[in-house]
């Protein structure tokens, strides 16, 4: 463990001693009776931060997405989302299995325009089409390299959604990063949406937990779907205390991860013939590609780097992802870039 530089994901962090102490000291109760004070405090705090009436804790971001899709659609509906969104690519087909919906992926680079949404929305008066009932935006966008979706684009998409009678969902697992990078409050980023999901287990460094926020009525429906999916828990305050600690102590430092990712990306791009669009490095994720001219593919690079103590994810045959987080230092990010550049030389 000692010398390992783990850039596979921002989910690999260890809870700090202070976070563990907060968890150990957390007042708890049975959350299914609404009696867990720490969870109630977290939900109230996040509802206010996100500018919504109510919020609901969920064990994972995947379940938050599944519950959101189930809450805002009916089986047989179609959801419009960005290409390679988490709900379409990383949830083992859960959108189809749990919500009974199909996802129509549009746009490029993690983004799409309001007019692309309009063109993708199927006419309702035509008997053979699935009904398009929901648009989903992922911000920041994981597979597109952690890009921040420009808020004017979000507002325009939401306006078209309202006009067409679609609900709007924000997969904001890394909305904290979007806020740190854009300087806009999470409440402003979440404002155009009926439901918003945020995660505590990514850049915030908690051992688990996500949350959905929306109107009281929508959250009441989501609560039933959470229970149906087996996600209603009991003395959950141990997790909520970690999330509250993270909001106090880890949220204000996310910009450090962003600076480290940029440093890593610039150093790697300068030292190796990788295909890396520095314009996509806006937060804590670096996605780069290995051109065919390089005699090494992504799984081989990942395996050789691991032997040298640097862990990155092969995201595709020639696509690699590295993610910075609170357990890697600036010097480690520099060293990781040098190790990868040497392997690619």
Ligand X SMILES: *Cc1c(COP(=O)(O)O)cnc(C)c1O
Tokens standing for residue 18: 């202070």
49 and 187 Cβ atoms separated by less than 8 Å: yes
Report if residue 210 touches ligand X, rule: CB under 6 A: yes
By C-beta, is 67 or 191 nearer to ligand X?
67
Output the smallest distance, CB 194 to ligand X, in A.
17
Output the smallest distance, CB 141 to ligand X, in A.
7
Report if residue 149 touches ligand X, rule: CB under 6 A: no
Secondary-structure breakdown of the chain: helix, strand, coil percentages, each rounded to the nearest 5: 45, 20, 35
Segment lying near ligand X (by CB under 6 A), choices 61-69, 112-120, 226-234, 275-283:
61-69
Report if residue 142 touches ligand X, rule: CB under 6 A: yes
Report if residue 332 touches ligand X, rule: CB under 6 A: no
Max Cα–Cα distance, the chain, nearest Å: 62
Backbone angles phi, psi at 296, to 5 degrees: -150, 140
Please report, for residues 51, 69, 88, 211, 227, the alpha-carbon distance to residue 97 in angstroms, rounded to integers and kept in the order given: 31, 11, 12, 21, 17
Report if residue 199 touches ligand X, rule: CB under 6 A: yes
Tokens standing for residue 316: 């595709």
263 and 49 Cβ atoms separated by less than 8 Å: no
Report if residue 201 touches ligand X, rule: CB under 6 A: yes
Output the smallest distance, CB 62 to ligand X, in A.
3
Report if residue 175 touches ligand X, rule: CB under 6 A: no
**Beta partners for residue 149, in sequence order:** none
Segment lying near ligand X (by CB under 6 A), choices 14-22, 54-62, 92-100, 291-299:
54-62
Distance CA 202, CA 12 (A): 8
Output the smallest distance, CB 279 to ligand X, in A.
20
By C-beta, is 193 or 335 nearer to ligand X?
193
Segment lying near ligand X (by CB under 6 A), choices 36-44, 55-63, 251-259, 279-287:
55-63
Find where tokens 């009525």 sit.
Answer: 217
Residue of 223, 177, 179, 278 whose CA lies nearest to 67: 223
Segment lying near ligand X (by CB under 6 A), choices 58-66, 157-165, 233-241, 300-308:
58-66
By C-beta, is 169 or 288 nearer to ligand X?
169
Distance CA 291, CA 188 (A): 39
Report if residue 60 touches ligand X, rule: CB under 6 A: yes
By C-beta, is 86 or 335 nearer to ligand X?
86
Output the smallest distance, CB 343 to ligand X, in A.
27
Output the DSSP codes for 149-167: PPHHHHHHHHHHHHHHT-E
**Beta partners for residue 82, in sequence order:** 106
| Pairing of β 195-199 and β 167-172 | parallel
Please report, for residues 94, 163, 187, 220, 291, the alpha-carbon distance to residue 168 in angstroms, rounded to integers and kept in the order given: 19, 12, 15, 17, 37
By C-beta, is 301 or 323 nearer to ligand X?
323
Report if residue 267 touches ligand X, rule: CB under 6 A: no
By C-beta, is 260 or 321 nearer to ligand X?
321
By C-beta, is 173 or 290 nearer to ligand X?
173
Output the smallest distance, CB 35 to ligand X, in A.
25
Contacts of 300 (CB under 8 A, 6+ apart): none
Report if residue 66 touches ligand X, rule: CB under 6 A: no
By C-beta, is 201 or 283 nearer to ligand X?
201
Q: Which residues bind ligand X (CB under 6 A)?
A: 60-62, 65, 86, 138, 142, 171, 173, 199, 201, 210
């Amino acid at each position: 463990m000692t010398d390992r530089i783990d850039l596979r994901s921002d989910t690999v962090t260890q809870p700090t001693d202070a976070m563990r102490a907060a968890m150990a000291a957390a007042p708890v109760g049975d959350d299914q009776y609404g009696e867990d004070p720490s969870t109630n405090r977290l939900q109230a705090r996040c509802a206010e931060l996100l500018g919504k009436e109510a919020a609901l804790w969920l064990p994972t971001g995947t379940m938050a997405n599944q519950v959101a899709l189930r809450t805002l659609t009916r089986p047989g509906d179609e959801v419009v989302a960005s290409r390679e969104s988490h709900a379409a690519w990383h949830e083992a087909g859960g959108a189809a299995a749990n919500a009974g919906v199909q996802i129509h992926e549009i746009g490029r680079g993690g983004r799409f325009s309001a007019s692309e949404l309009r063109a993708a929305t199927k006419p309702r008066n035509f008997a053979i089409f699935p009904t398009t009932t929901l648009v989903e935006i992922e911000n920041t966008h994981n597979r597109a390299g952690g890009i921040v979706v420009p808020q004017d684009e979000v507002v325009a998409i939401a306006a078209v959604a309202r006009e067409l009678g679609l609900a709007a969902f924000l997969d904001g697992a890394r909305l904290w990063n979007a806020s740190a990078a854009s300087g806009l409050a999470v409440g402003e980023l979440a404002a155009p949406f009926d439901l918003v999901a945020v995660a505590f287990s990514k850049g915030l460094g908690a051992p688990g937990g996500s949350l959905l926020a929306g109107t009281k009525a929508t959250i009441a429906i989501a609560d039933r779907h959470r229970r149906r999916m087996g996600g209603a828990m009991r003395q959950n305050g141990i997790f909520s205390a970690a999330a509250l600690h993270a909001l106090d102590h880890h949220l204000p430092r996310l910009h450090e991860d962003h600076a480290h990712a940029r440093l890593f990306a610039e150093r790697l791009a300068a030292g190796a013939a990788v295909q890396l669009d520095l314009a996509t490095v806006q937060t804590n994720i670096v996605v780069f590609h290995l051109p065919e001219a390089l005699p090494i593919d992504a799984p081989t690079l990942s395996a050789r780097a691991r032997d040298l103590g640097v862990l990155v994810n092969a995201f595709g045959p020639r696509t690699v992802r590295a993610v910075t987080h609170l357990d890697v230092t600036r010097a480690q990010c520099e060293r990781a870039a040098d190790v990868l550049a040497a392997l690619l030389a």
